[in-house]
Each structure stands twice: as structure tokens, then as C-alpha cells.
């Protein structure tokens, strides 16, 4: 899966939250300062062309709906980070986070407990 640009990602976050929306609903839910509606419409067209978003005709308007879920995109993004920067190893990703003090040992212990519970 190709990565989203920053503008595309902002719009996808709104669509994931709304589940679907007309252009003006999407504009209204964009973070401040809100881009112009023409800018959002152009980015949405690109996202439709890329296969991230689909449209449905509602009278004279389009209703936009995400084709991929936030979870699918998150998984793809994490896989790409692991492959691109950590030799494909999530162990290396976790080690990096611990080394950078982004993940504490107590957090790792909680994760390990969760993993053990789900494996039972």
C-alpha cells in the first residue's frame, strides 16, 4: 500500500471518524486552519484515483467513503517502517523505542502480560 501524503492523511483521519461525508462535512471537520474546499476536493479526487476513497452520487454531490480502514493503513505503515528502517524486525523497533525512552520497561511488562493472556 502506498503511503498517504500529509494532506491525504488529514482527510483520511476525518473520513475514518465520520465513516463517510460530503465535501462540506469533511471541510467542517478538518483541523484549523481549514484548507479551502477546492483544495480538499482536489486531494479527495487524487485519493479516489489512488483507491483510498470511493464516491457515491447524492444528487449533485459526492459522498466520500474510505476504502481502507484505519487499522489496515496503520498495519501497512508499521510494516513499512519496520522494513525500511529496522531490517523488518519488530524486535528492533521495540529495542529502538526502549533506547529512546519512548517505551518503558513497565510498559513492556504490561504488553507481555497482554500477549500471554491472548495466547491462552
Q: How many domains does the chain have?
A: 2
**What pLDDT band is residue 82 in, cutting at 50, 70 and 90?**
very high
pLDDT tens column, 28-73: 999 999 999 999 999 999 999 999 999 999 999 999 999 999 999 9
- Considering the domain architecture, whether residues 11 and 58 belong to the same structural domain is answered as yes
Task: Look at residues 27, 48, 67, 80 and name the one whose alpha carbon lies nearest to residue 10.
Answer: 27
Mean pLDDT of 88-105: 92
Q: Does 109 map to a domain? A: yes
The pTM of this model reads 0.83
**What pLDDT band is residue 97 in, cutting at 50, 70 and 90?**
very high
Beta carbons of 52 and 12 less than 8 angstroms apart: yes
Q: The domain containing residue 118 runs over which residues?
A: 89-120
Amino acid at each position: 500500500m502506498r503511503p498517504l501524503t500529509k494532506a491525504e492523511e488529514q482527510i483520511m483521519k476525518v473520513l475514518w471518524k465520520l465513516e463517510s461525508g460530503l465535501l462540506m462535512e469533511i471541510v467542517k471537520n478538518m483541523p484549523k486552519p481549514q484548507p479551502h474546499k477546492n483544495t480538499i476536493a482536489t486531494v479527495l479526487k487524487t485519493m479516489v484515483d489512488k483507491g483510498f476513497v470511493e464516491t457515491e452520487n447524492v444528487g449533485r454531490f459526492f459522498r466520500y467513503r474510505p476504502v481502507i480502514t484505519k487499522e489496515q493503513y496503520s498495519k501497512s505503515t508499521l510494516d513499512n517502517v519496520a522494513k525500511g528502517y529496522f531490517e523488518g524486525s519488530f524486535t528492533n523497533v521495540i529495542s529502538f523505542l526502549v533506547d529512546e525512552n519512548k517505551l518503558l520497561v513497565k510498559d513492556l511488562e504490561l504488553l507481555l502480560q497482554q500477549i500471554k493472556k491472548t495466547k491462552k
